[in-house]
């Protein structure tokens, strides 16, 4: 065991209006006990349009649920129609920003270089980037999983000093496990999390590598979370589908080893 605190994040993706979000957050709040938050940082990442309502309900009821966003532009402001900047998110009490999700890489042309720029901007605004990495099925079958993840990490953290790398979290999400019901085995997840930590030693140093939280994502549910979290290098979960149901997400947060 290490002293890294668990981090469990619900990535709502493009789901939930601001009204849905208020209800979902209230339900989640009622299903969690105060001591759950002693063990785990509990984060929900709704779409941008729900962040203001989410912030309002969280602050009004003094909830301990924290807020995440699903992306951020690298500039603070300017002529970038349709984009949202890191300082805008920070002003909405957002603490975490998911970056480089495989869906963004696949559908929106996200590159390691852009992830690097976004990571700098999110850090600059005082929030925690959750940098997503992960291989496709064919890359895994070709034995390239580690080299793909290694190069995504080197790209995302290029020219960042150890202090900045240490202020990030990482989510290992094998693309073939996302939304498929096909979870990586705890061994595969644990092995890749260990590889990620070794890579962080090379990119930064061993203190930084020990400090960074490495999450697993891909079909996490209340039934498999415990075995995944039992792995020494897995410090949390990035949950998609199951995070949309407050009962299911609360059960994931409340897992016990």
Q: Site size for ligand 13P, by CB under 6 A? A: 14
Residue range at the interface with ligand 13P (CB under 6 A); choices 47-55, 189-197, 212-220, 228-236: 212-220
Q: Does 223 bind ligand 13P (CB under 6 A)?
A: no
Q: How far is the CB of 223 from ligand 13P (least distance, A)?
A: 13
Cα separation, 257 vs 248, whole angstroms = 17
Q: Which one, 170 or 204, has the nearer CB to ligand 13P? A: 170
Cα separation, 92 vs 71, whole angstroms = 14
Active-site residue numbers?
A: 101, 173
Residue range at the interface with ligand 13P (CB under 6 A); choices 27-35, 77-85, 156-164, 173-181: 173-181
Of the candidates 46, 217, 236, 246, which one interacts with ligand 13P according to CB under 6 A? 217
Q: Does 238 bind ligand 13P (CB under 6 A)?
A: yes
Q: How far is the CB of 38 from ligand 13P (least distance, A)?
A: 25
Of the candidates 156, 167, 170, 178, which one interacts with ligand 13P according to CB under 6 A? 178
Of the candidates 139, 211, 219, 224, which one interacts with ligand 13P according to CB under 6 A? 219
Of the candidates 22, 160, 193, 220, which one interacts with ligand 13P according to CB under 6 A? 220
Residue range at the interface with ligand 13P (CB under 6 A); choices 52-60, 162-170, 224-232, 238-246: 238-246
The DSSP bridge pattern shows strands 236-239 and 6-11 to be: parallel
For the chain, the DSSP string reads --SPPEEEEEE--S---HHHHHHHHHHHHHH--HHHHHHEEEEEE--GGGHHHHHHHHHHTT---EEEES--BSSSSSS-TT--BHHHHHTTTEEEEEES-HHHHHHS---HHHHHHHHHHHHHTT-EEEEEE---HHHHHTT-HHHHHHHHHHHHTTT--HHHHHT-EEEE--GGGTTSS-PPPHHHHHHHHHHHHHHHHHHS-HHHHHHSEEEEESS--TTTHHHHHTSTT--EEEESGGGGSHHHHHHHHT---
Cα separation, 167 vs 41, whole angstroms = 15
Q: How far is the CB of 201 from ligand 13P (least distance, A)?
A: 26
The DSSP bridge pattern shows strands 6-11 and 128-133 to be: unpaired
Instruction: Give the x-and-dash track for 91-130 against ligand 13P (CB under 6 A).
Output: ----------x-----------------------------
Q: Does 228 bind ligand 13P (CB under 6 A)?
A: no
Q: How far is the CB of 156 from ligand 13P (least distance, A)?
A: 16
Site for ligand 13P in 1-30 (CB under 6 A): 11
Residue 197: half-sphere exposure toward Cβ, Cα within 13 Å: 21
Could you list the residues that contact ligand 13P (CB under 6 A)? 11, 101, 173, 178-179, 217-220, 238-242
């Amino acid at each position: 065991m290490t002293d890294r605190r668990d981090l469990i994040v619900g990535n709502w993706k493009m789901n939930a209006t601001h009204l849905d979000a208020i209800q979902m957050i209230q339900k989640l709040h009622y299903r969690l006990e105060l001591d759950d938050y002693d063990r785990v940082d509990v984060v929900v990442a709704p779409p941008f349009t729900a962040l203001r309502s989410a912030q309002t309900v969280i602050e009004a009821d003094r909830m301990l649920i924290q807020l995440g966003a699903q992306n951020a532009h690298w500039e603070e402001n300017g002529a970038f129609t349709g984009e949202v900047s890191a300082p805008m998110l920070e002003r909405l009490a957002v603490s975490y920003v998911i970056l480089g999700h495989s869906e963004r890489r696949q559908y929106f042309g996200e590159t390691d270089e852009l992830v690097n720029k976004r990571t700098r901007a999110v850090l600059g605004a005082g929030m925690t980037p959750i940098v997503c990495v992960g291989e496709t099925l064919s890359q895994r079958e070709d034995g390239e999983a580690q080299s793909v993840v290694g190069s995504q990490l080197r790209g995302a953290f290029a020219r960042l000093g150890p202090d900045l790398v240490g202020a990030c979290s990482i989510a290992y999400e094998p693309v073939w496990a996302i939304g498929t019901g096909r979870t990586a085995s705890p061994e595969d997840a644990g092995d890749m999390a260990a590889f990620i930590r070794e890579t962080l030693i090379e990119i930064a140093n061993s203190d930084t590598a020990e400090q960074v939280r490495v999450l697993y994502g891909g079909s996490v549910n209340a039934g498999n979370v415990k075995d995944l979290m039992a792995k020494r290098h897995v410090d949390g979960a990035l949950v998609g589908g199951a995070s949309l149901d407050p009962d299911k997400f609360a059960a994931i947060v409340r897992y016990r080893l």
